[in-house]
Amino acid sequence: MKSAEIRQKFLDFFESKGHTIVPSAPMVIKDDPTLMFTNAGMNQFKDIILGNINPKHRRVADSQKCLRVSGKHNDLEEVGHDTYHHTMFEMLGNWSFGDYFKEDAIAFAWEFLTGVMGLDKNRLYATVFEGSKEDGLEGDAEARKIWMNYLSEDRILFGNKKDNFWEMGDMGPCGPCSEIHIDLRPEEERKLKSGRELVNQDNPLVIEIWNLVFMQYNRKADGSLENLPNHHVDTGMGFERLCMAVQGKTSNYDTDVFTPIIDEISRLSGLKYGVSHDADVAMRVIADHLRTISFSITDGQLPSNVKAGYVIRRILRRAVRYAYTYLDQKEAFMYRLVPVLIEVMGKHYPELVAQQELIEKVIREEENAFLRTLDKGIKLLDRIIEKTKAEDFLTIPGNVAFELYDTYGFPLDLTKEILELMQVFISMGTHTEAHSPIDEGDETEKNALNGIDESTPAFQVADALLNE
């Protein structure tokens, strides 16, 4: 079953259950000071959940474009290195605003996964909230009882507050949730070890695919809980993970959501996917980031030096760096992938088609500008390394990495990689005796995505780098 058909079957199924299908909200948020990007399907319904407005429809379903690259929802460092994290992803969701609750939500999920998608029920597990002494909450016996209509007792697991209790923030609506996990391991592995032992253990083939949130409490300012007058259901399912499960793959990147893009990257670079680990990671990073950048542009957010635009620029530059370093792409080429992306996703997201010319133009210009930066920075770093070794030193001052980053825009993690390859070390801060390889690059890039941007005074960024 192709990915486009899977998405449509989800929407058709919930429409048949009385849900109104609504379009995806923009991925870039312009009217909410608390969020730069849509990071979950519920963002566009936040005011309904908070009780600020009345819903137009009691039952709603959609496929929502999401971006997770900052704050507590930051998957950037995992993207490309594992098989199931993404910056931009689609979240399939269904909502009930004061209508149905746990019984129907679980029944709908089970019917869709096993009946419509045809997933093997013997590979499915459900988790329910174990309770919290801190909040005076007992375990979710109601959800567990409902799940026993569909799963044997050994496939229903208790989960802690971190995994199985959802909260919008420090205050506001919240409640227990029930995750659905699937075991995609080969049969011989499943015989050796039960999937229940691997649920929520970061196994890449025993993964969560759907989270059913039951909002039944309100967290007050003093931290206590009170019952909500109306109970809501908020569910979110990773579209890419669902495609992996339905298509019998062991990686999201092996589904037809990504394979056409990766095939084109392979053709343009002359490198075959599946041969080199580093090249494979690079291709996955580029395929993922291409989607993020393209959809951001269609939503009106161009790369820039501040706020949301800076995040998009950093993501684009990360993709360019991987192409430059591991695919030997010294000229702009990502923009040439846009037609393939449109072929894959343009039917469901016509805004990609309408703005193809703009997307290609922006990406090409950003690629060319950053490639010039990379070339200049690498030449400068080569001279520094040459001088350091000629003088029989194995360390360089920590401010060198920052100067390359601050003055030339040269990525910190690339400085790290080059220095480690050349067996040159960097002394951080004033503690020159601590001769260790530079290891602050990734963390500093995450800090940049979390608020430090090119508008920040230089000494503040330097302090973040040298003293973290």
- Give pLDDT tens digits for 300-315: 999 998 888 988 998 9
Name the band, by pLDDT with cuts 50, 70 and 90, for residue 232: very high
More confident residue, 412 or 311: 311
Residue listed under structure tokens 């569909």:
150
**Chain segment 168-202, per-residue pLDDT in tens:** 778 888 999 999 999 999 999 999 999 999 999 98
Residue (of 387, 412, 394, 413) closest to 402 by Cα position: 412
- Kindly list the domain boundaries of the chain, sorted by start residue: 3-246, 258-374, 393-467
The percent of residues above 90 in pLDDT, for the chain, comes to 60
Q: Are 252 and 287 in contact (CB under 8 A)?
A: no
More confident residue, 323 or 400: 323
Amino acid 250: pLDDT? 92
Amino acid 461: pLDDT? 36
Does the domain at 3-246 match CATH 1.10.1780.10? Answer given as no
Q: Is the pLDDT of residue 113 over 70?
A: yes
Mean predicted confidence (pLDDT) in 347-364? 96
Name the band, by pLDDT with cuts 50, 70 and 90, for residue 130: very high
Amino acid 270: pLDDT? 96
The percent of residues above 70 in pLDDT, for the chain, comes to 85
Q: Is the pLDDT of residue 339 over 80?
A: yes
Average pLDDT, the chain: 85
Range with the poorest average pLDDT among 30-39, 51-60, 87-96, 153-162: 30-39
Residue listed under structure tokens 């580093």:
278
Other Cβ atoms less than 10 A from the Cβ of 220: the count is 11
Amino acid 422: pLDDT? 65
Q: Is the pLDDT of residue 124 over 70?
A: yes
Amino acid 437: pLDDT? 30
Q: Is the pLDDT of residue 441 over 60?
A: no
Q: Specify the amino acid at residue 156.
A: I
**Cα-Cα end-to-end distance for the chain:** 48
Range with the poorest average pLDDT among 24-33, 121-130, 452-461: 452-461
Q: Is the pLDDT of residue 251 over 60?
A: yes
Amino acid 351: pLDDT? 94
| Torsion angle in degrees (nearest 10) through CA of 153, 155, 158, 159 | -170
User: For the residues of 52-80, what is the DSSP string, one character each?
Assistant: SS--S-SEEEEEEEEE-EETTEE-GGGTT
Distance (Å, rounded) from C-alpha 77 to C-alpha 413?
Answer: 11
Taking CA atoms, 57 is separated from 18, 90, 375, 400, in Å, by 10, 22, 55, 57
Mean predicted confidence (pLDDT) in 306-328? 90
Looking at the chain, the number of H-run helices and the number of E-run strands are 17, 14
State whether residue 127 is helix, strand or coil. Answer: strand
Query: Buried b vs exposed e over 247-261: b needs ≥16 C-beta within 10 Å?
Result: bebebbbbbbbbbeb
Q: Are 161 and 232 in contact (CB under 8 A)?
A: no
390: left (phi over 0), alpha (psi -120 to 50) or beta: alpha
| Torsion angle in degrees (nearest 10) through CA of 49, 172, 110, 78 | 110
Amino acid 378: pLDDT? 77
Residue listed under structure tokens 């209790």:
165
412-421 vs 356-390: helix axis angle to the nearest 10? Answer: 40
Q: Is the pLDDT of residue 453 over 90?
A: no
Range with the poorest average pLDDT among 66-75, 101-110, 239-248, 297-306: 66-75
**Chain segment 259-296, per-residue pLDDT in tens:** 999 999 999 999 999 999 999 999 999 999 999 999 99
Name the band, by pLDDT with cuts 50, 70 and 90, for residue 150: very high
DSSP 8-state symbol, 435: E
Amino acid 425: pLDDT? 67
Amino acid 427: pLDDT? 63
Distance (Å, rounded) from C-alpha 49 to C-alpha 167?
Answer: 11
Query: Buried b vs exposed e over 132-158: b needs ≥16 C-beta within 10 Å?
Result: beeeebebbeebbebbeebbeeebbbe
Name the band, by pLDDT with cuts 50, 70 and 90, for residue 65: very high
pTM of the model: 0.83
Q: Are 207 and 184 in contact (CB under 8 A)?
A: yes
More confident residue, 169 or 154: 154
Name the band, by pLDDT with cuts 50, 70 and 90, for residue 381: confident
